[in-house]
Amino acid sequence: MNSHQKIKVIREWVYLGIAVITSVFLILFNNSSFNNTLSEIGLDAFSILSYDYFSLREKASLKDEIVQLKQKLVEISQDKKLYEGSFDENIRLRNLLSIELPESLSYVYAKVTGKPVSSLQNTLLINAGTEKNVMNGEMVISETGFVGVVNNAGKHLSKVTLISDPDNKIPVITEFGKIPGIMISLDKQTAEIHEITKSQTVEVGEKIFTSDFSKLYHPNLLIGEVISVSDSSATINKKVVIKYSTNFLEVKDVFIIHKKKE
């Protein structure tokens, strides 16, 4: 092939290229329905190609944002727990402060620092001792009722024997009939009232309080509520079972009651 023929072939290819470019240009800028279809196909193809590009570019920033959101969620959860704890404590203290005591008595506020971990333990620790004038034998109450008696007062801590201790024999009185009896614990939740005869009336739901029969216990402190009453065929006494008003595992704040100095 001579040079004249080569120039002719090149010229034909150039014309062909110009014709193709012109045709594509006309198709892209044409408003025909065929062109609209091509545009939609092109956009779909572009979106598929660009998706991974943009997702990769933003992946690092999204990861950082997720970490920040998780940290914020943890902070909010901690603040919520702190608020709930403060709210519950405020309610307990308000209930404690609403307890009315005779003028001859005063009280010392304390927090529970150690609780029983098994059904065999009937003591708890409170963060008040002789430095706050706490003495052995003083009674301990919560906003829900009688808790126990101080049996070992240290300088900063004191040990309290719960009323659920089976060795306790606490004189009590019923709410309605003012019937005296002796309370003996059955377990951490219930106790039995002895020395109430069959001729006396005790009702389910009736409250039980400490009585003034013994000088060891202050009277009129709530102990619990009657949950069952039955007549025993073997004795002349009724079988009266009560449920303690206080859940000893949930006690957090208490008052130690003692007589004011003359």
Q: What is the mean pLDDT of residues 181-198?
A: 93
- pLDDT at position 230 over 60: yes
Q: What is the mean pLDDT of residues 186-192?
A: 93
- pLDDT at position 94 over 90: no
Q: What is the mean pLDDT of residues 245-262?
A: 80
Structure confidence at residue 35 as a pLDDT band (50, 70, 90)? very low
Q: Is the pTM of this model over 0.75?
A: no
Using alpha carbons, select from 247, 179, 173, 166 the residue that is nearest to residue 210.
173
CA dist 24 to 28, 30, 39, 43, Å? 6, 10, 12, 16
- pLDDT at position 196 over 90: yes
Question: CATH top-level class for 105-259?
Answer: mainly beta
CA dist 121 to 100, 124, 163, 258, Å? 30, 9, 12, 25
Q: What is the mean pLDDT of residues 128-153?
A: 91
Q: Which two tokens stand for residue 39?
A: 């545009």
What is the residue-averaged pLDDT of the chain? 78
